[in-house]
Amino acid sequence: MKKLPALCPSCEFALEVSELSCESCGTKVSGNYSLPLLLQLSPEEQQFLLDFITSSGSIKKMAEQLGKSYPTVRNYLDDLIEKINNIKNH
Amino acid sequence: MNTILFNPFERYPEKKLLLIGIICTSLSIYLASILDAHFDGAIDVHLVNEIVHIKSPLIESIISIGCLVLFIFIAGKIYNSKTRIIDIFVTVLIARIPLYLILPFNINHYYSELALSLAVDPNNLQNLPQETLLKTLVFSLVIFALVIWFFMLLWNGYKTATHAKGAKSIVLFILAIIIAEIASKALLSLAF
């Protein structure tokens, strides 16, 4: 599966969607659309969030799944919350 | 391997670490009574040339561990309100394991007798046989490495438990250790 780039490989500025197309009829929509917040996270961070939701938001369960300790997972989550807040405030 | 030796707090669940910590602490109290050692301070181990009753290392361990846990936990709470006391307790128990490895140096009072002879006459160092001098040097270096290992474990555990970053967390950590050492010394002087 191709990895969706969120940052410009040249200047590292946030990329925007400029074209969307319909696979069925070939219609194309052009414009400038911001990437949704979740897509601006790295694939690992997106996976972490999905795992967090599917484990009912339990850090303890997440720690067991990832083979990490409770504070390590909580620290990772805190870093992720900080990153999301930074993206939102940007 | 690095994780197990220097930062087990990153990977292993607190229940497992707590069990290991309690077993090692209990064993250290027993060994201190056999090999004659005192834990007379939050970050102290002293090998002595006298008979030590098990009651001494037991009370000393409770006070030393208690002071370290209390003051590092306060520092952690000031830095990050999410800090849990169980993580600090586990950190202190596990970090002290390298200190317990100093105890075998006093088998047959070897280290304490050597230290005593040097304390009485510092010039005795020149009169020591070369083999004893070499052993003293190696033992001192090993003990120094174990103390460094203790501080590394203590810092890594604190860092994981509090999500420590930057100068403020370092200052709080150092202050907590200094206050724990002073408080434990004061409490121990009252206890004995």
Q: What percent of chain B has pLDDT over 90?
A: 73
pLDDT tens by residue, B85-138: 999 999 999 999 999 999 999 988 888 887 777 776 767 667 777 887 888 888
Q: What percent of chain B has pLDDT over 70?
A: 97
Distance CA B107, CA B117 (A): 16
Residue A89 has what pLDDT?
A: 86
Residue B4 has pLDDT above 90, yes or no: no
Cβ of A74 under 8 Å from any chain B Cβ?
yes
Residue B152 has pLDDT above 90, yes or no: yes
Residue B124 has what pLDDT?
A: 67
Q: Which of A68, A74, A75 sits opposite B11 (nearest CB)?
A: A68
Average pLDDT, chain A: 91
Cβ of A75 under 8 Å from any chain B Cβ?
yes
Is the CB of A71 less than 8 angstroms away from the CB of B87? yes
φ and ψ of A19, to 5 deg: -150, 135
pLDDT tens by residue, B14-36: 999 999 999 999 999 999 999 99
Distance CA A24, CA A28 (A): 11
Residue A2 has pLDDT above 80, yes or no: no
Is the CB of A63 less than 8 angstroms away from the CB of B161? no
Q: What is the pTM of this model?
A: 0.88
Shortest Cα–Cα distance, A70 to chain B (Å): 7
Residues of A in contact with B12 (CB under 8 A): 69
Distance CA A82, CA A79 (A): 5
Residue A90 has pLDDT above 80, yes or no: no
Mean pLDDT of A64-78: 95
Question: Which ranges constitute the DSSP H helices of B49-166?
Answer: 55-79, 85-95, 97-100, 110-120, 124-127, 130-162
